[in-house]
Each structure stands twice: as C-alpha cells, then as structure tokens.
C-alpha cells in the first residue's frame, strides 16, 4: 500500500517512462535504418540497383509504429486523468460515515449500529452479536426479511441476560433462513468513519475508524 500522493505521482511517472522508452526505441530504429539504407545505397552495384519498394515499405512500417506509440501515449494520458478523477471522488469519503461489507461495528455510549443485505427475501432473520473474544453476548430477533435491500439495525448494547455491555468493538453475524430452515445468503455491513485513503493495486482502499479496511467501490451507503 502506498500514500495516495506518491501513488498518483508513481502512476504518472510510470506512464511517462513507458512512453519515453518507446519513443527512444523508435528513434534508435530510425537511425539504424537510415544508416543501413545509406550503406546499402553507397555499396550497391550501379548495374543492378536495389529495389526502392523495399525501403518505402520499411519506412511505412516504422511510421505505423510511431503512430501506434503516439496513440498509446494519448490513451495512457486519458486513463491517468480518469484515474485521478476517481481518486478525487474517493477522497471526498474521508471523514464521512460509510457502510461497507464487514461484521465489525462499534458500541459507543451504549449504542451500536450495523447494516445487512439479504441475497433474497427470507422467512426469518436474526443477528448474533459477539464480543472481541468471539463469545455470543446477544441476539436480535425478527429483523427485516426483505431481500436485496440495505437494512439498518440499532442495538442498545444489552446482553442476552439484559445487562449493559461495555463499549468496544463487536461483530454482527446475520442468520437468514427460508420456511424450511435452510440458511440463505446474507452479508453484514459495518458502519464506520473513513479516516484516510491509500492505494492498493490501483484501487482506493479506505481505512476505517474501527480498524478495518474496505475498497471504495464496494461502499453501500454514505452518510
């Protein structure tokens, strides 16, 4: 992972380096071809001059290579501009609360909030709340069963025994079942504030205040 400023500079430098290298290679080929052409013309047999069609064809091929390099350079510049525009949009997420796939959520002042999405409409949905050690401390029953929608859940921080739990990081496991009791696809979403942004393999990686990370393109909601 790299800092966003250094990453952007690195991408631009990489593009410039590739274009410069290709242009330098083309210039070298031109010079070599012209030297070869001059040598062949100087040493050719006057009685059997060389066919000029071959030289014209080779010059045309080099010209096509030059045009390809120029086109690629323009496309790379456009791609770089589009990438920079995407990064500018992602930078706007810093300091904002987002919903991203993940089971972690924060309980603060006796209040915790998380989201979830069901792959299809379910018969029953519940959430199992676990502490940092993985112990089940509470269950929330009768959650919304509608499929393919983002649902928000507020938890009061009360344990299964009805006692208030300490503030901290908890996890929410969503269990959705059909009328026969079969488990259905369900994804928990964590609500967290974006603290900073870095680049990972050319994609914006969000660093959240709950210690988690997520790619910017999988954000489900922004508040």
Mode of pairing for the β-strands spanning 104-108 and 213-215: unpaired
pLDDT in tens, 144-203: 999 988 999 999 999 999 999 999 999 999 999 999 999 999 999 988 888 888 877 777
Sign, CA dihedral 208-210-211-212, equals negative
pLDDT number for residue 174: 96
SS3 of residue 181 by DSSP: coil
Helix (H) or strand (E) holding 167: none
Give CA 110 to chain center in angstroms.
34
Mean pLDDT score across all residues of the chain: 77
Instruction: Fold for 97-222, please state it.
Output: Immunoglobulin-like (2.60.40)
DSSP state of 153: E
pLDDT tens digits, one per residue of 9-57: 444 444 455 556 666 666 666 666 667 667 766 776 666 666 666 666 6
**Closest residue by Cα to residue 156 from 127, 118, 113:** 113
DSSP class per residue in 106-128? EEETTEEEEEEEESS--SEEEEE
Q: Got the DSSP string for 91-103?
A: HTTTTSEEEEE-S
Predicted confidence at residue 206, as pLDDT, reads 85
* pLDDT, tens digit (0-9, with 9 covering 90-100), for 102-115: 888 889 898 999 99
């Amino acid at each position: 992972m790299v800092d966003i400023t250094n990453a952007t500079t690195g991408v631009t430098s990489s593009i410039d380096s590739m274009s410069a290298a290709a242009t330098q290679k083309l210039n070298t080929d031109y010079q070599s071809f012209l030297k070869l052409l001059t040598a062949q013309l100087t040493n050719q047999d006057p009685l059997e001059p060389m066919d000029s069609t071959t030289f014209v064809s080779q010059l045309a091929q080099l010209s096509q290579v030059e045009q390809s390099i120029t086109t690629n350079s323009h496309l790379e510049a456009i791609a770089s501009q589009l990438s920079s525009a995407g990064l500018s949009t992602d930078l706007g997420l810093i300091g904002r609360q987002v919903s991203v796939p993940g089971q972690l959520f924060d309980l603060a002042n006796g209040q915790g909030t998380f989201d979830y999405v069901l792959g299809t409409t379910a018969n029953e949905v519940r959430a199992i709340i676990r502490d940092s050690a993985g112990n089940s401390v509470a269950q929330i029953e009768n959650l919304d069963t509608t499929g393919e929608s983002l649902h928000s859940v507020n938890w009061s921080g009360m344990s299964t025994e009805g006692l208030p739990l300490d503030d901290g990081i908890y996890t929410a496991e969503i269990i959705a079942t059909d009328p026969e009791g079969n488990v259905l696809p369900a994804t928990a979403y964590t609500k967290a504030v974006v603290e900073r942004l870095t680049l990972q393999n050319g994609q914006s990686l969000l660093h959240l205040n709950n210690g988690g990370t997520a790619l910017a393109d999988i954000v489900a909601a922004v508040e």
